[in-house]
């Protein structure tokens, strides 16, 4: 009877069944296969890939770099024909000098207007002195007329001279007011001249910026990607010319939300790099994404449907790479890696 129950076929079926159950328990990390080691192959090396574009239009006259070449900060990458922008700068400088000359002329006009005011004031003083003299002469003739010794023609002449002196005073005072108004006009108009000078100075600075933008330099040390611009090509503002990739890299590991329990900032991480023959590198958790990857998708999913199926979402984990490793310099953005985090490990404060 026991021989029938434990026949070879029965044993094989039991063994296959137990193996299947064991694989399921292992895949779902259920007892006795629970582990504090969380692993994901949904992880990639990332870096600051800077795409360079011109801010001005023109023909490319110089491309002194090649594909994948290492460059240093400030190194010339692309040069655009600058003859038009040199002339625009000269034109802006000429306009600025013209506006400055107009402003200087305004100051000279102010000096002249002040001199005219002084001359007009002197004319008023002279006219008032003549008026006083004419008044005294008229009074003498009136006194002579009362005593009977005066001559009618002399009295009439003195009266006329008095009226003439009064008119001269009024004319001199009017001319003085005209001179003062001319000074006010000059001072008021100076505001527009000063604004014109400021605008011309801004135009010069803009022309200098445009001229400087005809040369595109490396913003940081690194390597260039494939150079897409060619000698003689006409480019416009926003045209993608090439990309500069600095040496600073890190890893983004997209863990399932069910794997995050126990993960903390500072915990050590083991990184296996596919492109380096699965060579192991060390790192540590730097920070967690503020939302799951689905929240950043262009087309967001709508789970408010009748046939809803729960799917574990993934959360990005940024991992810094320890710098004291020889293989770290061989990492390039976009490489695939496998990341392992021991959630039982204590965080490292560095």
Instruction: Please report which confidence band the pLDDT of residue 243 belongs to, taking 50, 70 and 90 as the band edges.
Output: very high
Is 125 or 73 the better-scoring residue by pLDDT?
73
* pLDDT greater at residue 193 or residue 1: 193
The C-alpha atoms of residue 198 and residue 195 are separated, in whole angstroms, by 5
Would 283 be classed as within a structural domain?
yes
For 228, list phi and psi in degrees, rounded to 5: -90, -15
- Asked whether the predicted pLDDT for residue 151 surpasses 60, the reply is no
Q: What's the rounded Cα separation, in Å, for the pair 76 and 24?
A: 59
- pTM over 0.85? The answer is no
Q: How many domains does the chain have?
A: 4
Q: Are residues 145 and 112 in the same domain?
A: yes
Between 2-6, 15-19, 231-235, the lowest mean confidence (pLDDT) is in 2-6
Residue 158 vs residue 176, higher pLDDT:
176
Look at residue 214 and tell me whether its pLDDT is greater than 70. Answer: yes
- For residue 258, the domain's CATH number is 2.40.30.170
Give me the torsion for CA of 337, 338, 343, 348, rounded to 10°. Answer: -30
Q: With beta carbons less than 8 A apart as the criterion, state whether 138 and 82 touch.
A: no
Average of per-residue pLDDT across 15-31? 72
Checking if the pLDDT of 2 tops 50, the result is no
Asked, for residue 251, whether it belongs to a domain, the answer is yes
Average pLDDT across the chain, whole number = 84
Q: Is it the case that residue 213 has pLDDT exceeding 70?
A: yes
Q: Is 278 exposed, middle or buried (0-12, 13-18, 19+ CB in 10 A)?
A: exposed
pLDDT attached to residue 35: 67
Query: Stretch 31-43: mean pLDDT, rounded?
Result: 79
Query: In this predicted model, what pLDDT tens digit does every residue of 259-296 receive, in sequence order?
Result: 898 899 999 999 999 999 889 999 999 999 999 888 88
Do 99 and 77 fall within a single domain?
A: no
Residue with the larger pLDDT of the pair 237 and 143: 237
Do 120 and 156 fall within a single domain?
yes
Alpha carbon distance 53, 59 (integer Å): 14
Token pair listed for 125: 């003083």
- 130 in the same domain as 198: yes
**Would 349 be classed as within a structural domain?**
no
In a domain, 40, yes or no: yes
Same domain, 187 and 139: yes
107 assigned to some structural domain: yes
| Model pLDDT, residue 149 | 56
What is the model's pLDDT at position 63? 95
Considering the domain architecture, whether residues 150 and 264 belong to the same structural domain is answered as no
128 falls in which pLDDT band (50, 70, 90)?
A: confident
Same-domain check for residues 136 and 199: yes
C-alpha span between 257 and 248 (Å, rounded): 28
Residue 347 lies in a domain: no
pLDDT class of 1 with cuts at 50, 70, 90 = very low
Name the residue among 288, 287, 285, 289 with its Cα closest to residue 266: 285
- Note whether 22 and 42 are same-domain residues: no
The domain of 63 spans 54-81+223-240
In a domain, 64, yes or no: yes
């Amino acid at each position: 009877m026991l021989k029938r129950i434990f026949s070879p076929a029965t044993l094989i079926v039991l063994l296959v069944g137990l193996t299947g159950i064991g694989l399921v328990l292992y895949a779902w990390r259920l007892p006795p296969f629970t582990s504090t080691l969380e692993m994901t192959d949904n992880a990639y090396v990332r870096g600051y890939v800077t795409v360079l574009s011109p801010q001005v239009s023109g023909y490319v006259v110089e491309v002194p770099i090649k594909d994948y070449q290492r460059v240093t900060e400030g190194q010339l990458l692309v040069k655009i024909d600058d003859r038009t922008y040199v002339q625009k700068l000269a034109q802006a400088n000429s306009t600025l000098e013209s506006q400055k000359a107009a402003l200087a002329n305004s100051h000279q006009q102010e000096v002249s207007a002040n001199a005219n005011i002084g001359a007009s004031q002197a004319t008023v003083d002279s006219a008032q002195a003549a008026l006083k003299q004419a008044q005294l002469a008229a009074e003498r003739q009136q006194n002579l007329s009362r005593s009977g010794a005066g001559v009618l023609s002399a009295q009439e002449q003195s009266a006329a001279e008095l009226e003439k002196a009064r008119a001269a005073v009024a004319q001199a005072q009017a001319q003085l007011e005209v001179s003062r108004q001319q000074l006010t006009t000059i001072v008021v108009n100076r505001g527009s001249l000063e604004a014109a000078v400021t605008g011309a100075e801004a135009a010069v600075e803009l022309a200098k910026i445009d001229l400087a933008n005809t040369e595109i330099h490396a913003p940081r040390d690194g390597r260039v990607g494939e150079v897409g611009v060619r000698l003689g090509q006409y480019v416009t503002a926003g045209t993608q010319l090439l990309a500069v990739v600095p040496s600073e890299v890190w890893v983004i590991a997209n863990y399932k939300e069910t794997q995050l329990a126990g993960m903390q900032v500072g915990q050590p991480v083991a990184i296996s790099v596919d492109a380096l023959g699965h060579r192991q590198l060390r790192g540590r958790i730097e920070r967690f994404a503020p939302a799951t990857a689905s929240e950043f998708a262009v087309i967001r999913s709508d789970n408010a449907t009748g046939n809803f199926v729960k799917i574990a979402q993934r959360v990005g984990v940024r991992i810094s790479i320890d710098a004291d490793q020889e293989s770290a310099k061989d990492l390039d953005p976009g490489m695939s890696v496998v990341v392992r985090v021991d959630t039982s490990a204590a965080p490292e404060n560095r």
